[in-house]
């Protein structure tokens, strides 16, 4: 199967991007693996004619927004992030009416439509820095309440208004699962994604994006780690830190949408050009603005 993918990529001049949460065998077939921020930059800078994005819808959409002239394919077009929809347009309008200097800061895990209503996008890797750099005192952080609260703690000088969206995988990781894992591995360092709840983040030694977690584990002197994020990051953690041990805080840390990206579907979208991402013209220009502003501010 890998030989076939290699041949098809060459034939179509395609690049395959995979998020760290994609299945291991799909990450193995990719040209680039990474977190949302890294992959958005790769999508913007590629010379390939076709971008195959093994992730969820907002990632494919972001790649298309940044590269409108290229063909963007997804192995499974139904792979979506539930959190990407968790704020209403009315709520954004209400907050804007109440605070005239407000900046709507939109986590990249959001629909293209929500991006059109936002001032700047962020990912978990750059949210704190970007919010600090904004001139506005009032910030409405959408859609993730957990990442929003984490940013609020890091940037106390701003008035950050929170929304109640959440990631169904990270938000439902119970602290009791982490406590149990810590009791079994008392010397392990705890690494957590900021989409987890506050009570859990309080117990973490490091909080960061998927790439931040991997970089921390690589540099740390510790030999064992408890990981509080989706299990797909285990692939890169094991390959970069072969002598270290990684335990996931729960065996339910699996994003079903990310796992829709199978090798078979990757082959068939390369073969048939299926799963193409299209963005409505009326949305495209306005949704690109906050994404470009993110790339500019994160430099
Ligand atoms: P990263 O930006 O850290 O890769 O996270 C994306 C994501 O979907 C987390 O659930
Ligand atoms: Fe969305 Fe959560 Fe899956 Fe990330 S892990 S893509 S936030 S549902």
Q: Between 281-297 and 36-45, two packed helices, what is the crossing angle to 10 degrees?
A: 110
Q: Which portions of the chain are predicted below pLDDT 50?
A: none
pLDDT given for residue 36 in this prediction: 87
Q: What's the gap in Å between 125 CA and the centre of ligand 1?
A: 9
* 139 in a structural domain: yes
Specify the pLDDT at position 3. Answer: 94
Q: Are residues 266 and 210 in the same domain?
A: no
Nearest CA to ligand 1 atom 3: 209
Shared domain for 88 and 157, answered yes or no, is: yes
Cis peptide before 168 (omega within 30 of 0): no
pLDDT score of 100: 84
| pTM summary value | 0.95
What separation in Å is there between the alpha carbon of 169 and the centre of ligand 2?
A: 7
> Is 193 in the same domain as 58?
no
- Other residues' Cβ atoms within 10 Å of the Cβ of residue 27: 23
Q: Residue 201 is part of a domain; what is its CATH number?
A: 3.40.50.10800
Tell me the helix, strand and coil percentages in the chain, rounded to 5: 45, 15, 35
* 137 domain residue, yes or no: yes
Which atom of ligand 2 is found nearest the CA of 19?
6
**Does 136 lie in the same domain as 152?**
yes
Give domain status of residue 243, yes or no.
yes
**Is residue 88 one of the residues assigned to a domain?**
yes
* Residue to probe by mutation, ligand 2, list 195, 232, 254, most atoms within 8 Å of CB: 195
Domain identity same for 275 and 262: yes
145 with 292, same domain? yes
Classify residue 253: in a domain, yes or no: no
Q: How far is CA 149 from CA 5, 153, 204, 266, 291, in A?
A: 42, 6, 15, 36, 21
- Residue 163 and residue 184 in one domain: no
Dmax of the chain from CA atoms?
57
292 part of a folded domain:
yes
94 and 162, same domain (yes or no): yes
Question: Could you tell me which residues are beta bridge partners of residue 19?
Answer: 34
Q: Residue 262: inside a domain, yes or no?
A: yes
pLDDT for residue 223: 97
Q: Determine the pLDDT at residue 65.
A: 93
186 and 119 within one domain: no
At residue 97, the pLDDT reads 95
Ligand nearest to the CA of 35: 1
How many domains, in total, are found in the chain?
Answer: 3
Domain that holds residue 196: 173-248
Residues 292, 163 within the same domain: yes
Q: pLDDT, tens digit, for every residue of 149-199?
A: 999 999 999 999 999 999 999 999 999 999 999 999 999 999 999 999 999
Q: What pLDDT does residue 37 have?
A: 86
Q: Is 15 within the bounds of a domain?
A: yes
Do 244 and 180 share a structural domain?
yes
Whether residue 88 is found in the same domain as residue 138: yes
Whether 62 lines ligand 1, by a CB cut-off of 6 Å, is no
Report residue 15 CA to chain centroid gap. 19
């Amino acid at each position: 199967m890998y030989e076939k993918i290699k041949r098809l990529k060459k034939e179509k001049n395609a690049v395959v991007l995979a998020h760290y949460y994609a299945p291991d065998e799909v990450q193995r077939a990719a040209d680039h693996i990474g977190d949302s921020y890294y992959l958005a930059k790769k999508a913007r800078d590629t010379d390939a004619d076709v971008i195959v994005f093994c992730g969820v819808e907002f990632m494919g959409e972001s790649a298309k927004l940044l590269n409108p002239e290229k063909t963007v394919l997804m192995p499974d077009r139904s792979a979506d992030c539930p959190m990407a929809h968790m704020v209403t347009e009315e709520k954004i309008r209400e907050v804007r009416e109440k605070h005239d200097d407000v900046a709507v800061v939109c986590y990249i895990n959001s629909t293209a439509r929500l991006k059109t209503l936002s001032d700047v996008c962020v990912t978990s890797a750059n949210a704190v820095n970007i919010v600090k750099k904004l001139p506005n005192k009032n910030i409405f952080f959408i859609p993730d309440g957990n990442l929003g609260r984490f940013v609020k703690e890091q940037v106390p000088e701003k008035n950050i208004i929170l929304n109640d969206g959440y990631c169904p995988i990270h938000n439902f990781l119970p602290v009791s699962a982490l406590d149990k894992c810590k009791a079994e591995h008392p010397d392990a360092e705890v690494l957590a994604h900021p989409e987890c709840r506050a009570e859990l983040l309080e117990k973490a030694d490091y909080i960061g994006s998927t790439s931040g977690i991997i970089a921390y584990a690589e540099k740390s002197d510790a030999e064992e780690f408890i990981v509080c994020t989706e299990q797909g990051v285990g692939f890169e953690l094991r390959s970069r830190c072969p002598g270290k041990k990684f335990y996931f805080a729960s065996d339910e840390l699996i994003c079903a949408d990310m796992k829709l990206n199978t090798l078979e579907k990757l082959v068939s979208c390369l073969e048939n050009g299926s799963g193409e991402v299209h963005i409505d013209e009326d949305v495209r220009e306005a949704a690109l603005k906050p994404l470009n502003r993110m790339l500019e501010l994160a430099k």
